[in-house]
A and B are shown apart, each in its own frame.
Chain A
Amino acid sequence: MGLVARVVEAAGIPTIYLSTGRDLTQQVLPPRAVFVNFPMGNPFGRADDATMQRTILLHTLEHAVNATEPGEMIDLPYDWGERILTIMELQEGWSASPPDPVTGKQPT
């Protein structure tokens, strides 16, 4: 999605990118990025934690306003509180199930 951010920005629409993959984002270099050290499935925090979701969204919007250097990334100070597993590690125990042949949806 960093590619998309760069195209949108170059076309004249400012973008702000919220990343959970710091090294991935540093490579593609979107115009403005906020990094939060949370799992990829939880950029805004935990389910039903509206306070944290709002906080992270506010930080994201704040950097959109404050960033001055192209490619500037800031790191949010929050810690997930437990070890973050990648999807590849999770697949060892929990497999990403193929979609149901009738509905096309991934079973829970």
Chain B
Amino acid sequence: MKPIDYVPAINAYYQGLGYPEYDWTINSDAPFTPLTKPLGECRVSMLTSGGISHTSRPPFEPTAKNNLRVDAVDPCAAICDFDVNDAYYDTRDARVDINVVFPIERLRELAAEGVVGSVAERLWSGFMGRTYNRTAVIEEAAPALVRELGKDEVDLMIMVPA
């Protein structure tokens, strides 16, 4: 099955609703920081943008725009203690089994087996919804996350958009 062309589909959808064309970021190169340790020694964290919140926190607003909220997530949390609120993807399977978008159990297992060195003190959930204010992401919210990852001595960050 051919991958879906999301860019024209999204453009057509929002233009149909009367929005101007989205000014997509198109990059031609990428930063690159090599891993400095074998995977089995890496402390690994994970970020989901799937509107996933622990039940001790308020839910994410499902139709969020320019929402810079980023929650720290306890990697030892029970998988039934999460809410999923995100209007931008089909969340039905995530509500049955959070691991389909945020494989917290699978990551714990790999750490227990020594495939990864350890799971970081905190995982992350945020940056959900539609982003128009890229400057705020690039200049404030993402650097703030970087500082926290530094405190947790994260060696590798898994990023899973939804």
Residues of chain A at the chain B interface (Cβ within 8 Å):
1-24, 27-32, 35, 37, 39-48, 50, 53-54, 57-58, 60-61, 64-65, 69-71, 79-80, 83-88, 90, 94, 96, 98-99, 103-106, 108
Q: Say yes or no: A8 contacts B149, CB within 8 Å.
A: yes
Q: What's the A-B contact tally at a CB cutoff of 8 Å? A: 236
Residues of chain B at the chain A interface (Cβ within 8 Å):
1, 3-7, 9-10, 13, 24-35, 38-39, 44, 47, 49-50, 58-59, 61-63, 83-97, 99-101, 103, 105-107, 109-110, 115-116, 127, 131, 134, 137-138, 141-143, 145-146, 149-150, 154-162
Q: Say yes or no: B30 contacts A30, CB within 8 Å.
A: yes
Q: Say yes or no: B4 contacts A1, CB within 8 Å.
A: no
Q: Residues of B contacting A103 with CB < 8 Å?
A: 59
A23→B54 CA distance, assembly (Å):
31
Q: Which of B35, B50, B142 has the most chain A CB atoms closer than 10 A to its own CB?
A: B142
